[in-house]
Amino acid sequence: MDLARENPTGAIGLPARPRSATAPDDAALDYADVRRRITAIMIGSIGNLVEWYDFYAYAAFALYFAGAFFPGSDPVVQQLNAALLFAFGFIIRPVGGWLFGHLADTYGRRRALMLSVLLMCGGSMLIAVTPTYASIGIAAPVMLAVARMIQGLSLGGEYGTSATYLSEVADPKHRGFYSSFQYVTLIGGQLMAIAVLLLLQQVFLTGEQLRAWGWRIPFVIGGLLALVALAMRRNLHETDEFVAATGAAGRATAPVARPMSSLRALMQYPREVLIVVGLTMGGTTAFYTYTTYMQKFLKLSVGLTDIQTTTVTAASLIFAIVLQPIYGALSDRIGRKPLLLWFGITGTLGTVPLLQTLQATKSAWMALALIATAWLIVSGYTAINAVVKAELFPTRVRALGVGLPYAVTVSIFGGSAESIALWFKSIGHEQWFAWYLSSVIAVSLLVYATMRDTRHQSAMGRHA
C-alpha cells in the first residue's frame, strides 16, 4: 500500500480518512490504520534508540577515556570522577523535562521530538572533539561537563515526549505493548553502545588505541546517527489526541492555546505528580544499577576480563529487550498494577541476596544468569512505566506531566546510582549499596500498592 497515496502530506501517523461509499472495506481501513500506527511507532522509537545510544556511549567507554580527562593512578577514583560527570548530565534533565514538555504540549509532539534529537547530536559531537586534560588542562573536563549537560537537556525532553507520543499513537487495547518499545529502544541504545565497544575492542583497535583516541569514534557515530533520526522524524505527524485537544494540524507555525501547558496547570494534578515520583524512584535506581553501573561492577568487583564484561553486559541487555514487549502485552491483559507489584515485592526482597551472590561469583555464565534474573524483576517496571505515567494525565499536560517529575526523580535517584555505588566501594562498604537499592524499591512498593491501575482507570482521551 502506498503511504504517499494514503497521506498527501507525506507525514507518518495521520489519522485514517472517514469511510465513504467508494472507500475500501473495513478490513482495508483497519490494515492501513495499523500500518500507520506501527510505522509511526517505529520511527519514533528509532529516534529514541539513537538518543539513548549517544547518552550511554559515555558510560560504555568511560573505562577508556576516564584517564584522558581525570589524571591519577587509582582506576576506581577515575571511574568515580567519570561517574560524577555522568550524574552531572542528569542535573539538567528536569530543565529538559519542563522545556520539552511545554513545547510538546504547546507546539506538538513532533516538533519537540525533532529538537531533542538535534541537541543530542550537538552534545555527542562536542565530546568527540574535546581535547584531553594533557592538552588543555582543567578546560577538558569542563568541556566534557558542558557536553553532558547538552545531552542531559536533550534526554530530559526525550523521555516525556516519546512516552507521550508512543502512548497516544497506540490503539487502546495494545497500549502497553506498543509503549513498551520505548524501553526496547532505550535498552537497545545501550546495547548498540556495547556492540560498538565490542567491535572496537575485538576487531579494529587495541586497548592502547582505544585509550589514546579510539574512544572518540562512538561519539562521532552517535552524532551522525542523530542526524539520520532527525531526518526520519520530519515525517512524523501529530497524534490524534493532540489534534483533538488543540485543534492543531500538527504543522502549524504558531502555538495553539497555551494556558494548560504550564507548571501552574500541572499543579492541578498534585497526586498524579507525586505518583510519578514515587513509582519512578525505585525503578530508575534499579534500572541504572543493572545497566550503566553493572559494567563497572563486573569489571571492578566481580573481576571479569574486559571481553567477559562486555559480552555479559551485551547478552543481559538482549535478554532485557526481549522481555519488554512480553511484559507490555501482559499488562494489556492483566493490568499495570500487578506488574508493578511484582517488581516492588521481588525487588525489595531479592536485591540484597542477588547482588551479594553476583559479587561472590567468578563465573561469567553465573554472572549472566544472575543479571538475567534481575531483569525478570526490573522489567515489571521498565516495560510499563511510560504508559502508566501517560495514562495518569490528560492530553494538554501529558508530556509535561510525564517528563518533568520523572526527570527530577531520575536526576536524584537514577543519575546518582552509579556514583553512590562507587563511593560505597571506595570507602570499603560496597555491600551497603544493595541495601540502599532495596530500600528505595520498598518506598516505591508503597506507591504501587496504593495507586489505581491505570489500565482500567486511564486519563487517555481526556483533554483537560
Res 30: pLDDT:
62
Q: Is residue 205 over pLDDT 90?
A: no
Q: Picking from 10-14, 103-107, 221-225, 434-438, which range would have the lowest pLDDT averaged per residue?
A: 10-14
Provide, rounded to the nearest whole percent, the portion of the chain with pLDDT above 90.
21
Average per-residue pLDDT for the chain: 80
Residues 261-288, mean pLDDT to the nearest whole number: 86
| Least confident stretch, 2-11, 15-24, 452-461 | 2-11
pLDDT score of 260 more than 70? no
Tens of pLDDT, residue by residue over 315-359, are 999 999 999 999 999 999 999 999 999 999 999 999 999 999 988
Mean pLDDT of 116-144: 83
pLDDT, position 3: 35
For residues 381 and 188, the model is more confident at 381
For residues 418-429, average pLDDT = 83
State the pLDDT at residue 23: 45
Share of the chain above pLDDT 70, in %: 82
- The predicted-structure confidence for 139-166, as pLDDT tens digits, reads as follows 887 888 888 888 888 888 887 788 888 8
Lowest mean pLDDT segment, chosen from 90-94, 271-275, 420-424, 429-433:
90-94
Is residue 111 scored above 90 in pLDDT? Answer: no
Averaged pLDDT for residues 191-195: 84
Residue 371: the pLDDT is 94
Q: What is the predicted pLDDT for the residue at 58? A: 78
Name which residue leads in pLDDT, 196 or 62.
196
Q: What is the pLDDT of residue 77?
A: 57
Report residue 4's pLDDT band, with 50, 70 and 90 as the boundaries.
Answer: very low
Provide the pLDDT for residue 33: 62
What nine digits make up the cell of 228? 539520520
Residue 424: pLDDT over 60: yes
pLDDT of residue 22: 44
Domains observed in the chain: 42-236+272-450 (1.20.1250.20)
pTM (two decimals)? 0.78
